[in-house]
Amino acid sequence: MKRFRRLGLVCLALIGLAGAALSLRAGLAETLAPAAYTPPQAARKYFALPYSGTNFQAYSWVWHAVGRCYLRGATAATVLDAYAELEKSLPDRHFVYGETGWNGGGRFWPHRTHREGLSADFMTPVLRHLPDGGRAPATPSCMPWNLWGYGTRLDAAGRNGGRELDAAACIAHLAALNTAAARRGLRIKLVILDPPLLNILRASSDFRKIADLPFLPKTAWFPHDGHYHVDFTPQ
pLDDT, tens digit, for every residue of 13-31?
545 444 443 433 333 334 4
Buried b (16+ CB within 10 A) or exposed e, 162-188: ebbbbbbbbbbbbbbbbebbeebebeb
- pLDDT (tens digit, 9 = 90+) per residue, 102-138? 888 878 787 778 888 899 999 999 999 899 888 899 8
State residue 34's pLDDT score.
52
Measured distance CA(76)–CA(48) in Å, rounded: 8
Look at residue 221 and tell me whether its pLDDT is greater than 80: no
Q: What is the pLDDT of residue 144?
A: 83
- pLDDT (0 to 100) of residue 19: 47
Tens of pLDDT along 49-102? 999 999 999 999 888 988 899 999 899 999 999 999 999 999 999 999 999 998
As a whole number of angstroms, the distance between CA 191 and CA 177 comes to 11
Kindly tell me if the per-residue pLDDT of 140 is higher than 80. Answer: yes
Q: What is the pLDDT of residues 166-218, one digit of tens each?
A: 999 999 999 999 999 999 999 999 999 999 999 999 999 999 999 999 999 87
Q: What is the three-class DSSP state of 189?
A: strand
Looking at residue 235, its pLDDT comes to 85
